[in-house]
Chains A and B, each alone.
Chain A
Amino acid sequence: MRVMVPSALRSYTGAGEVDAEGDTLAALLDDLDRRYPGVRFRIVDEQDRIRRHIRFFVNGEQRFDLTLSVGPDDEIFIVQALSGG
């Protein structure tokens, strides 16, 4: 499925749009980490919590649960929620 990644993660992916597979958001992240080693830990912490300034949107709707089921036709946006200066 199509995954849009923020500029802060393009040092890993090399592109703003990549393909990845998985039947949940968690599985999708695991696949991203196989393709782009290290990227998962920048997005999700060691307790599997989404980091404070990261947001997931699935088909335009914000999602917070990594167990959410996703499919090949879904469009995933990973967004950096900027704050501070």
Chain B
Amino acid sequence: MPNVTLMIATRKGAWLFHGDQTRRSWRTGGPHFLGHEINHVVLDPRDGRTMVAAGKTGHLGPTLFRSTDRGATWKEAARPPAFSKQEGGRSVDHTFWLTPGHRDDPGAWYAGTSPQGLFRSEDGGDSWAPVSGFNDRPGASKAAGGSQDGTPDGPKLHSILVDPRDRRHLYLGMSGGGVHESTDEGATWRPLIQGLEVVGGLDPANIAFHDPHCIRLCPSQPDRLYQQNHCGIYRLDRPSEQWVRVGKAMPAEVGDIGFPMVVHPHDADRAWVFPMDGTDVWPRTCPGGTPAVYATRDGGDSWQRQSAGFPAGQVWWTVKRQSMTADRADTVGLYFGTTSGEVWASVDEGESWDCIVRHLPEIYAVEAATA
């Protein structure tokens, strides 16, 4: 059984939890960057030792931190993501998402920011440059809902996906602006929104109305993507460009609204979601105060409730889009962090759950590195 390290990003710092062979006992590392808002901590699977963390504080500008010894020591990036300087130009509020590049593109990383911008590093995350092909593409401002690009908590560029078969083939999601695809390593982009629904009464042809929450590509079948969207759960099998709302098979009383989306590392028919209450004023809490993961084994045609180990009721936390993940063990371990600072884990692919960490700050992201 491999060793798993969990990288937990929170509103007040980052923690690393190192699991033993059973994945039931965890050694705590941290806090790192105490007091910083950390949106994402990611290990580079290509070398197994470079980590990048995206942070800011409440009063200072954003930055990135790098480690080349798997989180033992950290150093600030020499040139964090920043937009090009121009009259009335945008400024990065925070880096939200980090993705290591293709295995044949050593040192490459991608970052997504708020306001929504795409950035690339070619030196392991030390210096970053805007991806002009995306940030300055025709219609960029319109796709983002205008120059202000501003939902109240800041729109996020997220879910940057690199096709493991082709370093030139990229996907990304904009929380205000839809799904986009590039086949020339980011030089040009086109929308990928057919079949996606938008809030009732709005025009789905207007990309500014599209709100993907989390998009995942199946490592075992890279032509298959799953998406948790503001308006449902979807699957896409390329080369088709038509997303299919597989969330319609979810129980009606639970619905198919949520933030995270997790795919099985070895079986593209299997995926997990964590639904939230998306009714009336959008509480975004566990539906009915009863937490449950939902799993599919048939590509989303049916969904099974997985709640063994969770409290029976009066639970009002939720799980953000980056806060649920899987390891790569043969029997997959699942992990999620809550807005109330708990980390829950399953070593049997969601059949049963244990709370392995309590009392952290609000959790923004959970990633699992499998050694």
Contact (Cβ within 8 A) B59 A82: yes
Residues of B within 8 A of A46 (CB): 82-85, 89, 91-92
The verdict on B45 contacting chain A, using a C-beta distance below 8 Å, is no
Contact (Cβ within 8 A) A51 B85: no
Q: Give the distance in Å from the alpha carbon of A84 to the alpha carbon of B362 in the complex.
A: 15
Q: Which of A20-28, A37-45, A59-67, A69-77 contacts B (4 or more CB under 8 A)?
A: A37-45
Contact (Cβ within 8 A) A47 B91: yes
Contact (Cβ within 8 A) B91 A81: no
Inter-chain residue pair count (beta carbon < 8 A): 54
The verdict on B57 contacting chain A, using a C-beta distance below 8 Å, is yes
Contact (Cβ within 8 A) B78 A37: yes
Interchain nearest-CB distance for A83 vs B (Å): 7
Contact (Cβ within 8 A) A48 B85: yes
Contact (Cβ within 8 A) A51 B78: no
Q: Give the distance in Å from the alpha carbon of A38 to the alpha carbon of B56 in the complex.
A: 13
Other A-B contacts than A9-B60, A38-B78, A53-B59, 15 sampled, CB-CB below 8 A, are A8-B59, A42-B63, A43-B61, A44-B61, A45-B82, A45-B91, A46-B89, A47-B90, A47-B91, A51-B61, A53-B60, A54-B59, A81-B59, A82-B59, A83-B59
The verdict on B200 contacting chain A, using a C-beta distance below 8 Å, is no
Pick the most buried of A6, A8, A81, A83: most chain B CB atoms within 10 A of its CB. A8
Residues of A within 8 A of B78 (CB): 37-38
Q: Give the 10 A-B residue pairs with the shortest CB-CB distance, closest first.
A: A53-B59, A45-B91, A46-B82, A42-B60, A80-B59, A42-B61, A47-B89, A51-B61, A47-B91, A46-B91
Contact (Cβ within 8 A) B60 A43: yes
The verdict on B69 contacting chain A, using a C-beta distance below 8 Å, is no
Pick the most buried of A6, A45, A48, A80: most chain B CB atoms within 10 A of its CB. A45
Q: Give the distance in Å from the alpha carbon of A38 to the alpha carbon of B78 in the complex.
A: 7
Contact (Cβ within 8 A) B63 A53: no
Q: What are 15 inter-chain pairs, A to B, with CB distance below 8 A? A: A8-B59, A38-B63, A38-B76, A41-B80, A43-B61, A45-B61, A45-B82, A46-B83, A46-B89, A47-B90, A53-B59, A54-B59, A54-B60, A80-B59, A81-B59
Which applies to chain B's interface (DSSP): helix, strand, loop or mixed?
Answer: loop
Interchain nearest-CB distance for B64 vs A (Å): 10
The verdict on B58 contacting chain A, using a C-beta distance below 8 Å, is yes
The verdict on A35 contacting chain B, using a C-beta distance below 8 Å, is no
Q: Give the distance in Å from the alpha carbon of A38 to the alpha carbon of B76 in the complex.
A: 8
Q: Give the distance in Å from the alpha carbon of A48 to the alpha carbon of B59 in the complex.
A: 16
Residues of A within 8 A of B60 (CB): 8-9, 42-43, 51, 53-54, 80
Interchain nearest-CB distance for B297 vs A (Å): 43
Contact (Cβ within 8 A) A84 B92: no
Pick the most buried of A8, A44, A47, A81: most chain B CB atoms within 10 A of its CB. A47
Interchain nearest-CB distance for B205 vs A (Å): 33
Contact (Cβ within 8 A) B61 A82: no
Closest to A79 in B: B59
Q: Give the distance in Å from the alpha carbon of A16 to the alpha carbon of B85 in the complex.
A: 30
Residues of B within 8 A of A41 (CB): 61, 63, 80, 82
Closest to A42 in B: B60
Closest to A9 in B: B60
Q: Give the distance in Å from the alpha carbon of A54 to the alpha carbon of B132 in the complex.
A: 29
Q: Give the distance in Å from the alpha carbon of A38 to the alpha carbon of B79 in the complex.
A: 8
Residues of B within 8 A of A9 (CB): 60
The verdict on A34 contacting chain B, using a C-beta distance below 8 Å, is no
B28-69 interface (Cβ within 8 A of A): 57-61, 63
Q: Give the distance in Å from the alpha carbon of A46 to the alpha carbon of B117 in the complex.
A: 14
The verdict on A49 contacting chain B, using a C-beta distance below 8 Å, is yes
Residues of B within 8 A of A37 (CB): 78
Contact (Cβ within 8 A) B80 A51: no
Residues of B within 8 A of A6 (CB): 59
Closest to B130 in A: A46
Residues of B within 8 A of A83 (CB): 58-59
Residues of B within 8 A of A48 (CB): 85
Residues of A within 8 A of B92 (CB): 45-46
Pick the most buried of B83, B91, B92: most chain A CB atoms within 10 A of its CB. B91
Pick the most buried of A41, A44, A51: most chain B CB atoms within 10 A of its CB. A41
Q: Give the distance in Å from the alpha carbon of A44 to the alpha carbon of B20 in the complex.
A: 44
Residues of B within 8 A of A38 (CB): 63, 76, 78
